[in-house]
Amino acid sequence: MPFPQAGPALFRLVRFWSRRWAPGVANGVRGEPENVQNVFVVEAVDGAGHQAEVTVADIAHQLGLDRSVASRMVSIAVDAGYVRRGTSEVDARRASLALTETGQRFLADSHAFQQRTFDDMVAGWPEADRHSLARYLRRLATELIDADRPAARGG
């Protein structure tokens, strides 16, 4: 086993953090209460934005949900003004999704909150260690997300 306990440590951290990050978002990414679902949807629309068109099915895939749940979440984000729903240019029966200017600002605010949170978590570490962890996290996220894109899955 080349990296003993690295896997369990990763999953322990995910479980720990998944119970703690949402209250921070709920307390206000921009100083006002936000629906945590909107963070998920805005991140998913942005994450699927490499495609020619983003649909509810793409959001469902990004979030690991069925389409009906994703559709309800998208509707909430549309009502909040973060996402614009239009008609698909590929198939008029489908909706095409994009971030509004408000959604783009919310995404930027969310990313700033995420960065502050990371900075706070590793504030006591030496700078070289903070940079190394940041570099490895970006690498891991990029490799896993790229492998999950439709082209990589053969779809």
100-126 pLDDT per residue, tens: 999 999 999 889 888 988 999 999 999
CATH number where 44 lies? 1.10.10.10
Let me know the angle formed at the C-alpha of 23 by 17 and 28, rounded to the nearest 5 degrees: 125
Weakest mean pLDDT among 31-35, 39-43, 55-59, 135-139: 31-35
What one-letter code names the amino acid at 65?
L
- 71 or 16: which leads in pLDDT: 71
Rounded Cα distance between 113 and 119, Å, is 10
Is 48 a member of any domain?
Answer: yes
Check pLDDT > 60 for residue 97.
yes
The C-alpha atoms of residue 128 and residue 155 are separated, in whole angstroms, by 40
Instruction: Identify whether 126 is part of a domain.
Output: no
Q: Which domain holds residue 84?
A: 23-121
Are the CB atoms for 75 and 64 separated by under 8 Å? Answer: no
Q: Is residue 82 part of a domain?
A: yes
The per-residue pLDDT for 31 is 61
Longest CA–CA span in the chain (Å) reads 54
Any domain includes 46: yes
Could you read off the pLDDT of 121-143 as tens digits, one per residue?
999 999 999 999 999 999 998 99
| Average of per-residue pLDDT values in the chain | 87
Bin 95: left if φ > 0, else alpha if -120 < ψ < 50, else beta: beta
Residues sharing a CB contact under 8 Å with residue 94, sequence separation 6 or more, in sequence order: 55, 56, 87, 88
117 within a domain of the structure (yes/no): yes
Q: Within a domain: residue 66?
A: yes
In the predicted structure, residue 28 carries a pLDDT above the cut 80: no
Domain total in the chain: 1
Q: Classify residue 137: in a domain, yes or no.
A: no
pLDDT score, position 133? 95
* Count of positions (residues) in the chain: 155
The DSSP annotation for 91-108 comes to: -TTSEEEEE-HHHHHHHH
Asked whether residue 111 is domain-assigned, the answer is: yes
CA gap 15, 9 in Å, rounded: 10
